[in-house]
Structure 1
Amino acid sequence: MTWIQPVDPLHNLTLSALVAIVPVLVIFWALIIKKTKGYKASLMACAVATLIALTVYGMPAKLAFLSIANGALYGFFPICWIVISAVFLFNLTVKSGQFEIIKHSMATITADRRLQAILIAFSFGAFLEGTAGFGAPVAITAAMLVGLEFDALYATGLCLVANTVPVAFGSVGIPIAVASQVSGLPEMQISQMIGRTLPLLSLITPLYLVILMSGFKKAMEVFPAILISGGSFALLQFFTANFIGPALPDIIAGIGSIVVLVVFLRFWKPTTIWRFKNEKPPLAIVKDAYSLNQIITAWAPFLLLTIIILTWGLPPVKEFLNARGQWQFAFPGLHNAIADSKGIPLSHIFKFNYLSAAGTAVFLAALAAIPVVGLTFSRGLKVFGETMNQLKLPIVTIMSVLSFAYMVNDSGITTTIALLLANTGPLFPFFAPVLGWLGVFITGSDTASNALFARLQYVTATRIGVAPVVTVAANCSGGVVGKMISPQSIAVAAAAGNLVGKESALFRFTLKHSFIILLFLSLLVLGQAYWFTGIIPVAAPVSALNALPLKAALPGYVWLILTALIIAVFIILLKLTGEKDRQKKIL
């Protein structure tokens, strides 16, 4: 028998929404006021949500506990798999001693902490979001900054804040593809609308990060570099989103802004090198301390990661891998057992895509890196075991967070809150980003938020006479701001930044900034809906250029063979050059 979600169980939408918001408030209370550990806060919120679902919404106990189990399973795979692989990759560079060389090479580009944060947290993080997504960007960049001896809380907090602007175009544009499927709007039109909103945020994000680190006065000391980074990223993001499509903005803007800033820093240096208070003296830079081969070898794990993750992001590769390495099943007792308020059954299909998962791409990069960084595979296996031991508690945290997310979605709690926001009439465009923010806060995914609310955004905008693309795009844009405070993101960042048990401090660090940026976006969307309507894109046929990134010409297996050859050639050249360097030293 199918259970139908009651979206207004108390027959008064305001009262129902006040009850529905309680589990969300529990998380805020636990993390901000009680300063509870992340997994305890999530378990408390899940328990409260379950109690409300059973008593107020009348959800059958069996469905409630199956929903919790489904969320925990999804939390383990693919989310925990990404975190495990990312931390394993980073630990290999540390255990092999290669990260000391990375520190030195990074300092030769710039020893200034402000600029290092922009390069890694903002630009490299955006590239990783565009290719992998699902927690990998924060996990990898936070681990890198901590390895560079950033304060752990600052490192993880900065990476969460920086991971806002790229989220809408993450995972090769998947969030926009889902928003298009659910709302019925063309992908290109949504991409263009977001591409006329987020570049404004991209332009100021590096400045925001540096002010957050060092204050306004110190930020002005590196303003030329900030402008170069934010400006190049915003321009590339705008151009790609408006004229190519949703698949490549993060990748092109991320790599492009790194190249532009590194070149700029060859000709310009800040007058003073800024570092954290009580930090030990800057790393002494010895000219020619390391050869080019040694530096490339040290960075090899991240170079291999870039190559493999780019390949894994291609649709033909995903299709090829899924056809040969995916096991999916209808979750027993839960699939189609719940229907929304319109009577449409909710699908609960678990996909174990063990080959195409982003975590698998990161894990393969780690395996390929083991001999390159000078470790044996037996030593690499030991490092993996140490990584698993290190992440025991974070795995529990992430699984409990996803259990909470699935519970509030399956019970109808999320929909109740959304409907209240949708009833705000002409003010709805202001609250459209808030809806996206709420969706990502609960689910940890802009893709999931769009699946939940894109249709609601479309219908509500049509009802009040606003262009639907404005509010659908706002769901994507608002969602990016919810990412930095989502319990899932906090858990991932804490795991990578070695802040397990201190999730509450990380949550308090990012909360204020999430609200500030959300207010900015809400006002911007309100203006787009009523006053700046000239920037709203008109639906147009998808050109061959627009479709190109999503339809790579070569079959998936050809891309995999080419990638394997590139990696093989890269490793051989690295080994040969390293041997030549050793012979020169002997002579």
Structure 2
Amino acid sequence: MFVQELAPLGALGLSALVAVVPLAVVLVLLGVVRTKAHHAALIGLVVALVVGIAVYGMPVGQAISGALQGAAFGLFPILWIVVNALWIYRVTVHTGHFDVLRRSFGRISDDPRLQALIIAFCFGALMEALAGFGAPVAISAVMLVAVGFGPGKAAVVALVANTAPVAFGAMGTPVVTLAQVTGLPLEQVSSIVGRQTPLLALFVPLLLVIIVDGKRGLRETWVPALVCGVAFGVVQFLASNFVSPQLADIGAALAGAAALVALPMTRRAVPAEVREQVLTGSHTATLDRPDERGEVVRAYLPYALIIVIFSLAQVPPIKKLLDTATWKFHWPGLDVHGPDGKAVSGNTFSLPFLNTGGTLVLIAGLLTLVALKVAAGTAGREWLATVKELRFAIVTVTGVLALAYVMNLSGQTTTIGTFIAAAGAGLAFLSPVLGWFGVAVSGSDTSANALFGALQVTAAHQTGLRADLLAAANSSGGVLGKMISPQNLTIACVAANLPGEEGKLLRKVLPWSVGLLLVMCLIVFGQSTPVLSWMLP
């Protein structure tokens, strides 16, 4: 049995300084040395193991076993979701149905400011819901360039739009991870995040029309932008609180798009000079090609199947049946107890073979193959190509989660959380900043939750604040760091054909990121006081 020690070096401050070294190494390697993310994650993992074993006295076998558990969680369910979701996207590209989908969006409205909302905010949110991990930015930027946006503007719009849906992206993976590493119930975490991020949805569409067309864009399209944001936010709140976190972004994205389509002014023609001033690039010629109705239906089919399958999976009898295929067991080699002597939740591991996002997406993908008449050999090659494309992301995610598990199980996270709890009530204002910083560095709300989720809970217990509030704030603040993460900046530059212009993009999106972060900090601080505490469940 290994019992965690709060201050292994005697003084809490000195112990916290040493405990933070693995994180500091990762941050410096990424932000200063500019090491590749997967290299930084693996080096950080080695440092965490050294600190856990040499300083905290964690047995070597248990430290390695904890790292393997974190890596296993990274592979399943997290990467299992991402691989299968991106596989479906690759299949639709191969069959040409993704181009059909892109042309369909272009015909909804000829107003480029509303096209930005449809493509980057609504469809980008749907892609975030299904895949996450950079896919929405890449796909949205490519589509915006195709309809005539200049590369720079397309990249900025895609990055800023990729905020409100991030906490529930990749079939709810960030909040699922947050619940896993903190030991809090998923429904509880999802409920509070769903009372924070929907408020961002009110601002982001308005910011997008300002980015696209300045004051004129806001003056002429604020009504559809606000309607889109309200519809998105309301459905995200309802789904995350009363239905399922896995369906929150899917429902919100569809609601936002439906609200736009339903508005008569969406189909109103815009003056030619507006289009000429906004669309400074050249649109893809294939956008003018007509499509048969059947082809359009088949283009939307994969996403409709995912929605239906995930909805059915929430029906109580079906959910109960799927849960029977879940294997929960004591992780081999782990016997960790907290400073209070109680066994930690990390000693056990759960494998939900059927009732997990990745398996449900895979089922939708198999049905898509039948509907689109894709040969099994082609589908297999596309799946392997997806894994190859994600090989470095796979190493990064598993490395970061292995590092997080070692820090949590050895007691390093508890030490840091206890130390920063000295911020007292002010911690509620600062907690979103920690998540923002984590995502800005790692490029993933999932990774930031794995790194800092348990720390936020520990700090909350020390200050008397609600643990679920600070844990949720980590994820909600983290979504605003996505647009400035080196990973996402690089993806946007590649997609929009802006080689080497990451620094220029960063300068354009940083003010929006910081401004929205300040709003989130005020929301969380208000929720920790009687002023906004009525918002919490």
- Shift in Å at residue 425 of structure 1? 2.5
Unaligned 5+ runs, structure 1: 463-467, 540-587
Residues 201 and 537 of structure 1: CA distance in aligned 2, closer, same or farther (over 3 Å): closer
- In terms of mean alpha carbon deviation, does 144-153 or 201-210 score higher? 144-153
- Shift in Å at residue 402 of structure 1? 1.8
| 1:241-260: CA deviation from partner (whole Å, max 9, x where unpaired) | 78x57767655543322210
Q: Pick from 339, 342, 361: which aligns with 1:341?
A: 339
> Quick one: which amino acid aligns to residue 526 of structure 1?
F
- Please name the residue that 2:473 is paired with: 477
- Shift in Å at residue 420 of structure 1? 2.2
Residues 68 and 279 of structure 1: CA distance in aligned 2, closer, same or farther (over 3 Å): farther
> Quick one: which amino acid aligns to residue 303 of structure 2?
F
- Please name the residue that 2:148 is paired with: none
| 1:37-73: CA deviation from partner (whole Å, max 9, x where unpaired) | 2101211222222222233322222222222222222
- Shift in Å at residue 374 of structure 1? 3.4
Q: Map 1:543-554 onto structure 2 (within 5 A).
A: none
Q: Map 1:434-473 onto structure 2 (within 5 A).
A: 434=433, 444=446, 452=454, 456=458, 459-460=461-462, 462=464, 472-473=468-469
Task: Tell me the distance in 1 between the aligned counterparts of 2:248 and 2:361.
Answer: 21
- Shift in Å at residue 428 of structure 1? 3.2
CA contact (8 A) 2:326 2:352 kept: yes
CA contact (8 A) 2:178 2:449 kept: yes
- Shift in Å at residue 218 of structure 1? 5.3
3-state DSSP of counterpart to 1:399: helix
- Shift in Å at residue 491 of structure 1? 7.2
- Shift in Å at residue 222 of structure 1? 3.9
Task: Tell me the distance in 1 between the aligned counterparts of 2:235 and 2:199.
Answer: 12
- Shift in Å at residue 455 of structure 1? 5.6
Residues 453 and 211 of structure 1: CA distance in aligned 2, closer, same or farther (over 3 Å): farther
- Please name the residue that 2:12 is paired with: 13
CA contact (8 A) 2:418 2:459 kept: no
Task: Tell me the distance in 1 between the aligned counterparts of 2:68 and 2:180.
Answer: 25
Q: Map 1:406-555 onto structure 2 (within 5 A).
A: 406-434=405-433, 444=446, 452=454, 456=458, 459-460=461-462, 462=464, 472-483=468-479, 485=481, 515-530=514-529, 532=531, 536=534
- Please name the residue that 1:94 is paired with: 93
Task: Tell me the distance in 2 between the aligned counterparts of 1:388 and 1:245.
Answer: 31
Task: Tell me the distance in 1 between the aligned counterparts of 2:482 and 2:202.
Answer: 23
Residues 503 and 450 of structure 1: CA distance in aligned 2, closer, same or farther (over 3 Å): farther
- Please name the residue that 2:306 is paired with: 305
- Shift in Å at residue 310 of structure 1? 2.4
TM-score by length of 1: 0.73
Matched, 1:396 2:392: no
CA contact (8 A) 2:53 2:59 kept: yes
Matched, 1:145 2:137: no
- Please name the residue that 2:206 is paired with: 207
- Please name the residue that 1:378 is paired with: 377
Q: Percent identity?
A: 28
3-state DSSP of counterpart to 2:329: strand
CA contact (8 A) 1:49 1:407 kept: yes
> Quick one: which amino acid aligns to residue 136 of structure 2?
T
- Shift in Å at residue 95 of structure 1? 0.8
- Shift in Å at residue 370 of structure 1? 1.4
Matched, 1:136 2:131: yes
Residues 341 and 511 of structure 1: CA distance in aligned 2, closer, same or farther (over 3 Å): farther
> Quick one: which amino acid aligns to residue 341 of structure 1?
P
CA contact (8 A) 2:424 2:463 kept: no
- Shift in Å at residue 519 of structure 1? 3.1
Task: Tell me the distance in 2 between the aligned counterparts of 1:36 and 1:255.
Answer: 38
- Please name the residue that 1:575 is paired with: none
- Please name the residue that 1:547 is paired with: none
- Please name the residue that 1:295 is paired with: 296
3-state DSSP of counterpart to 1:352: strand
Q: CA RMSD in A?
A: 4.4
- Please name the residue that 1:365 is paired with: 364
Task: Tell me the distance in 2 between the aligned counterparts of 1:108 and 1:172.
Answer: 34
Residues 405 and 91 of structure 1: CA distance in aligned 2, closer, same or farther (over 3 Å): same
> Quick one: which amino acid aligns to residue 364 of structure 1?
I
- Please name the residue that 1:332 is paired with: 332
- Shift in Å at residue 333 of structure 1? 0.6
CA contact (8 A) 2:209 2:218 kept: yes
Task: Tell me the distance in 2 between the aligned counterparts of 1:313 and 1:479.
Answer: 24
- Please name the residue that 1:280 is paired with: 282
Residues 180 and 389 of structure 1: CA distance in aligned 2, closer, same or farther (over 3 Å): closer
Task: Tell me the distance in 1 between the aligned counterparts of 2:135 and 2:308.
Answer: 15
3-state DSSP of counterpart to 1:424: helix
Unaligned 5+ runs, structure 2: 146-150
| 1:457-484: CA deviation from partner (whole Å, max 9, x where unpaired) | 664454xxxxx55x63343133222256
CA contact (8 A) 2:157 2:211 kept: no
3-state DSSP of counterpart to 1:343: coil
CA contact (8 A) 1:405 1:443 kept: no
Task: Tell me the distance in 1 between the aligned counterparts of 2:171 and 2:369.
Answer: 31
Q: Map 1:88-127 onto structure 2 (within 5 A).
A: 88-110=87-109, 115-124=114-123
3-state DSSP of counterpart to 2:71: helix
- Please name the residue that 1:555 is paired with: none
Task: Tell me the distance in 2 between the aligned counterparts of 1:448 and 1:114.
Answer: 37
> Quick one: which amino acid aligns to residue 280 of structure 1?
S
Q: How many residues align?
A: 516
| 1:296-338: CA deviation from partner (whole Å, max 9, x where unpaired) | 1122222222222222344543331121x3334322112xx22
> Quick one: which amino acid aligns to residue 161 of structure 1?
T
Residues 484 and 360 of structure 1: CA distance in aligned 2, closer, same or farther (over 3 Å): farther
- Shift in Å at residue 537 of structure 1? 5.5
- Shift in Å at residue 237 of structure 1? 4.8
3-state DSSP of counterpart to 2:308: helix
Task: Tell me the distance in 1 between the aligned counterparts of 2:354 and 2:144.
Answer: 34
Residues 145 and 199 of structure 1: CA distance in aligned 2, closer, same or farther (over 3 Å): closer
> Quick one: which amino acid aligns to residue 382 of structure 2?
V
Residues 143 and 521 of structure 1: CA distance in aligned 2, closer, same or farther (over 3 Å): closer
- Shift in Å at residue 14 of structure 1? 2.8
Residues 59 and 503 of structure 1: CA distance in aligned 2, closer, same or farther (over 3 Å): farther
Residues 474 and 122 of structure 1: CA distance in aligned 2, closer, same or farther (over 3 Å): farther
> Quick one: which amino acid aligns to residue 475 of structure 1?
A
- Shift in Å at residue 93 of structure 1? 0.6
CA contact (8 A) 1:113 1:275 kept: no
- Shift in Å at residue 173 of structure 1? 8.3
> Quick one: which amino acid aligns to residue 396 of structure 2?
T
